Amino acid sequence: MLSLKNKLRVTYALVLVCFVAMGALAIYRLALVSDQSAEMSRVWTPRTRIAQEMHSVSGQYRISEAMRILSASPSMAEHASRELKDNADAFAAKIAAYRALLHKGESAAPVDEVQNLWEQYVRGNELMLTYAENGQQAQAADRFRNSASKYYLFANAMDDLSRADNERNSAAGAVASAIYAQSKSQVFIAVTGIAVLLIVSILFFEVRVWGVLTRLSFAMKRLASGDLETDIHGTSRKDEVGEMAKAIQVFKDNGIEMRRLEAEAETQRRHIEEARQKNSAAVEKAANQRAQIVASIAKGLESLSGGELTYRLNEVFPPEYRKLQDDFNAAVEKLQGAMRVIALGAKEIHSSTEEISEASDKLAQRTEKQAASLEETAAALEQLTGTVRTSANSAKQVKHAVAATKVDAEESGEVVRKAVSAMGEIERSSAQISEIIGVMDEIAFQTNLLALNAGIEAARAGDAGRGFAVVAQEVRALAQRSTLAAKEIKTLISSSSQQVASGAGLVNDTGQALERIVAQVSEITHATSDIAAAAEDQALTLTQINASITQMDKVTQQNAAMAEESTAASHALAQEANELARLIDQFDLGAEVQSLADRQPAERASGKSREDRGKAVLRTMSSGNAALAGQLETVIENENWEEF
Amino acid sequence: MAASGDNQEEVRLITVRAGSQDFGLDMLAVREIRGWSQPTPLPQAPHFVCGMVQLRGTVIPVIDLGDRLGLGRTSPSAKSVLVMVDHGTRLVGLLVDSVSDLAVLPKASLQPAPQLCDGAGSGFVDATAALEGRILSILRLQSVIPELPAAAA
């Protein structure tokens, strides 16, 4: 049997197929009708119309012929001739349009026949028109009457053509109507089928599915309210509803099983209650005895908790609790012994830790002092490093300054050389000046001679030459003055040359001195470089020393911190030892231990030096249990300490 | 011949220096004064003849005046001067250290040369004159310039 889902799918598919088939059929039929109507509107109707128009045009032609024959005036004749031509052209156009609407493969015989008849008619009347043209109206009218038979032949053929077209138009309309009628009945049948199918499927679901589901939901509500007697329908079905019904059946079965289990548990509980009531009497008796024992043990434990380790259980215990009494007493005994040993140990630890803390205090103090000294040393070294660095920098600066000086001195040497050459130039210029002065002197000499000659000539001329003699005298005086001036200049030049020579010598000396200075400056440069290098080395070394000192300082600081930590630890240890002693004092251990605890500090203070005490402590700590045993021997002979 | 200026009230002289002495020469006897130019030596000439120079195409003998006057040989320099004198038809150059001045002296101020003994010295000096504290010896040219036969020899 199909599941509900598949049933639904099948139904929907059937409905869908019917719809699609119906739609396809309708579309196909509509296409056929459309074809027919298109044929009618596109071909048959126009052909019928054109045929009628051809008929009317031919009639018009004949009327025009009559008009032509009967025309009385030339204007009328011309009008009729024009009409004739127009109608003939119109007929030719119409018949061409008609031919264009012929189907492919359709016989053109009827149209050809119409055209033939028309052409025969037109040709037959050509003579008539000639008569009409020539004014022979009687002959023309005669021919017109005779041509009527030809025209009727043509008109009959024309009618046949029109009728045939009309018939075929009607036939196409009939075909379209037939297709429509057929389609209408087919679509009606399809719609009816689909409606029936839908109704059947709805009824099927109503009866077969919704009815059963309603009953199942009712049964589930009953089950939920606790009615387990309800019947479950439809468990035998094989679809989803059947599965649901089976699941609800399982719920029902589980409910019935749970009720059965609850009843069984109730019965068991009743049995257990009865057994418990039977046991309670025997238990009460044993409890009384146990309470007594517990009370005495509680008393013992109370005194123990109060620190009284000398307490023992001395009452007579029932035989089954005797073991408990013995064990308690033995435990307290052991505890007392152990506490005694712990008390002694605590005293010893206390005194030792005091010494340790004293020693570590001193150590911490010294370490701090050392750290302080190291810090001071580091600071001093830092300062020293700074000083050395400064002197190294100064040495560098001196080096640079000296180098600059050297450069300056070398430049000065160059200047001196230039000065010497300038002096040489001056000397050369002086020599040239001297030469020029010589020339001037020579000129003056020659002038003087000329003036003398002039004077002589003037003297020869007697009184007439007197004025000329005066002029010559003046020229001589001038020449002599020139000579004197030249002499003076010569003197000056020579003295200047001497001075220039001595200046050149001095400048040379300066140059030599400068060269010596340059050499010495070079030596100074080397020396300062050495100094600078040495200072750098010193600074580097000092930096290294400083780093070492800083390292030492750091280590010492760490030592100091550690010493302080150990001091704090030893103090804390001493406190802890005190606390231990105080705690142990809370216990009552018997008189012997107290006396020992009092005696030990007295022995410590009896004049041993600190070093001895320290050694003693070390010895005590290193020799361990044996030394401890030696000290404790006199007090507790009976105890076996090696074992402890 | 100093006679050319004798009939005048004053004498015109050229004062020259030769052998550190001042001498006067009759201005009218002097043709020209020239600067020193090295003379061409004259073979077999007397020691006081320096040689010969050209003056505008004419060859002229040159006499060292200092040497001629017995005052020692003149060492010629650029400042040395040749004084060309007319002696009759001849031109003779006299080498002197320098030409000092042109002097016009009143005839009255001339004194005759001192007469110590006959002969030599006085033959060369016509007269003397005091000029600016110095004694100016006015030379007798006919004595200074040797006679023609000697010169020609």
Structure confidence by residue, pLDDT tens digits, B33-62: 988 888 999 888 888 899 999 988 889 999
| A532: Cβ contacts below 8 Å, ≥ 6 apart | A392, A395, A396, A398, A399
pLDDT at A596: 45
| Percent of chain B topping pLDDT 90 | 21
pLDDT, averaged across chain B: 82
pLDDT at A231: 79
Which residue of A lies nearest to B104 if distances are taken between CA atoms?
A: A459
User: Between B12, B28, B102, which is nearest A452 by CB?
Assistant: B102
How many C-beta atoms lie closer than 10 Å to residue A135's C-beta?
A: 8
| Interatomic CA distance for residues A91 and A96, integer angstroms | 9
A interface test, pick of B11, B12, B26, B37 with most A CB neighbours within 10 Å: B12
Q: How many CA atoms lie within 13 A of B124 on its CB side?
A: 16
Chain B environment of A463 (Cβ under 8 Å): none
Chain B environment of A475 (Cβ under 8 Å): none
The residue with tokens 């004749």 is A77
| Interatomic CA distance for residues A531 and A394, integer angstroms | 10
Checking if the pLDDT of B95 tops 90, the result is yes
Mean pLDDT for the stretch of residues A316-337: 84
Tell me if chain B has a CB within 8 Å of the CB of A511.
Answer: no
Question: Does residue B59 contact residue B52 with C-beta atoms inside 8 Å?
Answer: yes
Q: What is the DSSP letter of A588?
A: B
Q: Is A453 within 8 Å of B33 when comparing Cβ atoms?
A: yes
Tell me if chain B has a CB within 8 Å of the CB of A449.
Answer: yes
User: Between A452, A460, A473, which is nearest B99 by CB?
Assistant: A452
Q: Is A459 within 8 Å of B99 when comparing Cβ atoms?
A: no
Checking if the pLDDT of A188 tops 50, the result is yes
| Interatomic CA distance for residues A472 and A452, integer angstroms | 7
Checking if the pLDDT of A554 tops 60, the result is yes
Classify residue A567 by burial, with Cβ atoms within 10 Å: 0-12, 13-18, 19+. buried
Question: Does residue B53 contact residue B60 with C-beta atoms inside 8 Å?
Answer: yes
- For residue A609, what pLDDT band results from cuts at 50, 70 and 90? very low
Chain A, residues 459-488, CB within 8 A of chain B, namely: 459-460, 469, 473
Q: Is A455 within 8 Å of B102 when comparing Cβ atoms?
A: yes
Q: Is A449 within 8 Å of B33 when comparing Cβ atoms?
A: yes
| Interatomic CA distance for residues A159 and A51, integer angstroms | 8
| Interatomic CA distance for residues A146 and A582, integer angstroms | 176
pLDDT, averaged across chain A: 82
| Interatomic CA distance for residues A419 and A514, integer angstroms | 14
Q: Is A442 within 8 Å of B78 when comparing Cβ atoms?
A: yes
Tell me if chain B has a CB within 8 Å of the CB of A439.
Answer: no
Checking if the pLDDT of A636 tops 60, the result is no
| Percent of chain A topping pLDDT 70 | 91
Q: What is the DSSP letter of B8?
A: S
Structure confidence by residue, pLDDT tens digits, A517-548: 888 888 888 888 888 888 888 888 888 888 88
- For residue A317, what pLDDT band results from cuts at 50, 70 and 90? confident
Residue B33, min C-alpha distance to chain A (Å): 6
pLDDT at B53: 92
Structure confidence by residue, pLDDT tens digits, A203-212: 888 887 788 8
Distances (CA, A) of A241 to A4, A205, A216, A228, B129: 8, 12, 9, 20, 193
The DSSP secondary structure of A485-501, one letter per residue, reads HHHHHHHHHHHHHHHHH
The three state secondary structure string of A280-310 is HHHHHHHHHHHHHHHHHHHHHHHHHHCCECC
pLDDT at A2: 63
Q: Is B33 within 8 Å of A452 when comparing Cβ atoms?
A: yes
Checking if the pLDDT of A633 tops 50, the result is no
- For residue A187, what pLDDT band results from cuts at 50, 70 and 90? confident
User: Between B28, B35, B79, which is nearest A460 by CB?
Assistant: B28
Q: What is the DSSP letter of B28?
A: G
Q: Considering Cα of A65, then A69, then A71, then A74, what sign does the dihedral take?
A: positive
Q: Is B35 within 8 Å of A473 when comparing Cβ atoms?
A: no
Which helix or strand (DSSP H or E) is residue A385 part of? helix A319-460
Q: Is A449 within 8 Å of B27 when comparing Cβ atoms?
A: no
Q: Residue A477's Cα: distance from chain center in Å?
A: 115
Classify residue B136 by burial, with Cβ atoms within 10 Å: 0-12, 13-18, 19+. buried
Chain B environment of A469 (Cβ under 8 Å): 102
| Interatomic CA distance for residues B5 and A220, integer angstroms | 198
Q: What is the DSSP letter of A95?
A: H
- For residue A431, what pLDDT band results from cuts at 50, 70 and 90? confident
pLDDT at A608: 41
Which residue of A lies nearest to B8 if distances are taken between CA atoms?
A: A462
Q: Which residues of B touch A (CB under 8 A)?
A: 12, 14, 27-28, 30, 32-35, 78-79, 81, 99, 102
Chain B environment of A455 (Cβ under 8 Å): 102
Q: Determine phi and psi for A609, rounding to 5 degrees.
A: -70, 165
Checking if the pLDDT of A634 tops 60, the result is no
pLDDT at A391: 85
Structure confidence by residue, pLDDT tens digits, A80-136: 888 888 988 998 898 888 888 887 777 888 888 888 888 888 888 888 888 888 878
| Interatomic CA distance for residues B139 and A525, integer angstroms | 84
| Interatomic CA distance for residues A188 and A391, integer angstroms | 128
| Interatomic CA distance for residues B102 and A463, integer angstroms | 16
Checking if the pLDDT of A595 tops 60, the result is no
3-state secondary structure of B106: strand
Distances (CA, A) of A345 to A340, A580, A644: 9, 10, 12
Range scoring the smallest mean pLDDT among A223-227, B94-98, B114-118: B114-118
Q: Residue A16's Cα: distance from chain center in Å?
A: 56
How do strand B134-139 and strand B21-26 relate by DSSP bridges? parallel
Per 3-state DSSP, chain A is made up of helix, strand and coil in percentages (nearest 5) of 90, 0, 10
Could you give the angle at which helices A45-70 and A148-205 cross, rounded to 10 degrees? 160
Chain A environment of B33 (Cβ under 8 Å): 449, 452-453, 456
pLDDT at B71: 87
Q: Is B102 within 8 Å of A456 when comparing Cβ atoms?
A: yes
A interface test, pick of B27, B37, B80 with most A CB neighbours within 10 Å: B27
Structure confidence by residue, pLDDT tens digits, A481-493: 999 999 999 899 8
Question: Does residue A212 contact residue A233 with C-beta atoms inside 8 Å?
Answer: yes
Q: Is A455 within 8 Å of B28 when comparing Cβ atoms?
A: no
3-state secondary structure of B108: helix
| Interatomic CA distance for residues A528 and A506, integer angstroms | 32
Q: Is A459 within 8 Å of B35 when comparing Cβ atoms?
A: no
Mean pLDDT for the stretch of residues A594-608: 45
Q: Determine phi and psi for B76, rounding to 5 degrees.
A: -70, 145
Mean pLDDT for the stretch of residues A546-566: 86
Mean pLDDT for the stretch of residues A608-630: 43
Q: How many CA atoms lie within 13 A of A5 on its CB side?
A: 1
- For residue B153, what pLDDT band results from cuts at 50, 70 and 90? very low
A interface test, pick of B25, B30, B33 with most A CB neighbours within 10 Å: B33
Checking if the pLDDT of A570 tops 80, the result is yes
| Interatomic CA distance for residues B65 and A171, integer angstroms | 186
Q: Number of Cβ pairs closer than 8 Å across A and B?
A: 32
Classify residue A426 by burial, with Cβ atoms within 10 Å: 0-12, 13-18, 19+. middle
Structure confidence by residue, pLDDT tens digits, A353-402: 888 888 888 888 888 888 888 888 888 888 888 888 888 888 888 888 88
- For residue B116, what pLDDT band results from cuts at 50, 70 and 90? low
Which residue of B lies nearest to A473 if distances are taken between CA atoms?
A: B102
| Interatomic CA distance for residues A164 and A107, integer angstroms | 13
Could you give the angle at which helices A591-604 and A319-460 cross, rounded to 10 degrees? 30
Q: Is A459 within 8 Å of B78 when comparing Cβ atoms?
A: no
Mean pLDDT for the stretch of residues B4-28: 80
Which residue of B lies nearest to A454 if distances are taken between CA atoms?
A: B32
| Interatomic CA distance for residues A564 and A583, integer angstroms | 28
ipTM exceeding 0.90, yes/no: no
Tell me if chain B has a CB within 8 Å of the CB of A452.
Answer: yes
Checking if the pLDDT of A638 tops 60, the result is no
pLDDT at A618: 42
| Interatomic CA distance for residues B91 and A471, integer angstroms | 28
Structure confidence by residue, pLDDT tens digits, A27-78: 998 898 888 888 888 888 888 888 888 889 888 988 888 888 888 788 888 8
Which residue of A lies nearest to B79 if distances are taken between CA atoms?
A: A445
Checking if the pLDDT of A604 tops 80, the result is no
Chain A environment of B99 (Cβ under 8 Å): 448-449, 452
Classify residue A513 by burial, with Cβ atoms within 10 Å: 0-12, 13-18, 19+. middle
| Interatomic CA distance for residues A55 and A28, integer angstroms | 40
- Adjacency order of strands within the sheet including B30-35: B30-35, B81-87, B90-96, B58-64, B49-55
